[in-house]
Amino acid sequence: MKLHFLDKRREASAMTTFRFVPLTPLVWTAGQSIRLELPAGWGTEERRFTISSAPYEAVIEVTTRVGASDFKQALDALTPGTEIDAYALEGDFVWDGKSARPIFLAAGIGITPFHAMLKQRLHDDLPVEATLLYAGSDTALLFEQILRGWQREQPDFRLELLHGQRLSAGLIADLVPDFASRLLYIAGPQAMVDAVSEELLARSVPETQLKRDWFTGW
């Protein structure tokens, strides 16, 4: 599939959102990811990203920290109108709607699938009875103001912004005492996802209640 690059937007936490329009209509579920392939000559030419926009917007947005890698530098250098290739739109890290009151656990860039899920459900006028625990080391967290706005508007949506804290099973238990009976979605750097998963399993949370999305090399 071909994507037409629109523009980029600087975000909090030194992140950047890159916006693309599909040249043919795409159908996806909030929380899924896509592989982007940049024009030849940039060294590492392809990388997978979670889509941070909601499907109803019909625009593919990916949000990432622009580092020193050839790929990230090439992504940041794209000019409006450039066409790139994309493929392998997939993933099962989605809100299935069957579980009551899910708990979303995000660290850093791991907020992107939850941003997409929540935005889509709000657009569809569906219940947003969920708890989001969002940890990060930066003073301003990615999408923080948007999330705060949703918290004010949606009485059933609980938001805990954990500035300068690390997610752990102990912290989760303190903030959400009934965590063991709820479905837990975990997204963020691989080390964080693995560590929190192990701690939750050690507290007798069944494997079937954990859904994970690992972000590697972001």
- Dist. CA 18–CA 7, nearest whole Å: 6
The three-class DSSP label of residue 68 is coil
Whether residue 218 is predicted with pLDDT greater than 50 in this model: the reply is: no
Beta bridge partners of 203: none
Same domain (yes/no): 130, 211:
yes
Same domain (yes/no): 81, 112:
no
pLDDT over 70, % of the chain: 96
Q: How many CB atoms lie within 10 A of CB 180?
A: 16
Continuous H helices in 44-110:
70-76
Whether 70 is covered by a domain: the verdict is yes
Domain containing residue 211: 103-215
**β-pair type (83-90, 60-65):** unpaired
Whether residue 146 is predicted with pLDDT greater than 50 in this model: the reply is: yes
- pLDDT value of residue 42: 53
**β-pair type (157-163, 130-136):** parallel
- pLDDT value of residue 100: 78
- pLDDT value of residue 41: 58
Same domain (yes/no): 124, 76:
no
Whether residue 50 is predicted with pLDDT greater than 90 in this model: the reply is: yes
**Domain stops at, among 90, 112, 131:** 90
Mean pLDDT across the stretch 174-180?
96
Same domain (yes/no): 119, 64:
no
Q: Are 56 and 90 spatial neighbours (Cβ–Cβ below 8 Å)?
A: no
Query: Which phi and psi (to 5°) does residue 21 adopt?
Result: -110, 125
Mean pLDDT across the stretch 36-53?
81
Listed in sequence order, the residues at least 6 apart from 172 whose beta carbon sits closer than 8 Å to its beta carbon are: 103, 105, 133, 179, 184, 196, 200
Same domain (yes/no): 84, 118:
no
Predicted confidence band of residue 128 (pLDDT cuts 50, 70, 90): very high
Q: Say how many domains are in the chain.
A: 2
pLDDT over 90, % of the chain: 83
- pLDDT value of residue 120: 97
Q: How many CB atoms lie within 10 A of CB 7?
A: 11
Predicted confidence band of residue 43 (pLDDT cuts 50, 70, 90): low
Same domain (yes/no): 86, 118:
no
Same domain (yes/no): 112, 202:
yes
Q: From the centroid of its chain, how far is CA 21?
A: 19
Whether 167 is covered by a domain: the verdict is yes
Same domain (yes/no): 158, 114:
yes
Beta bridge partners of 50: 33
Q: What are the Cα distances from residue 135, in Å, to 81, 185, 189?
A: 36, 14, 12
Whether 97 is covered by a domain: the verdict is no
Tell me which of 41 and 113 has the higher pLDDT: 113
Whether 30 is covered by a domain: the verdict is yes
Whether 179 is covered by a domain: the verdict is yes
Averaged confidence pLDDT in the chain: 92
Same domain (yes/no): 69, 145:
no
The CATH number given to whatever domain includes residue 131 is 3.40.50.80
**Domain stops at, among 90, 125, 150:** 90
Listed in sequence order, the residues at least 6 apart from 140 whose beta carbon sits closer than 8 Å to its beta carbon are: 12, 13
The tokens describing 65, both together, are 């920290």
The CATH number given to whatever domain includes residue 8 is 2.40.30.10
Same domain (yes/no): 15, 74:
yes
**β-pair type (184-189, 103-107):** parallel
Same domain (yes/no): 78, 114:
no
Mean pLDDT across the stretch 48-56?
97
**Domain stops at, among 56, 90, 124:** 90
Same domain (yes/no): 118, 199:
yes
The tokens describing 15, both together, are 């992140």
Whether 98 is covered by a domain: the verdict is no
The tokens describing 207, both together, are 């494997």
- pLDDT value of residue 69: 84
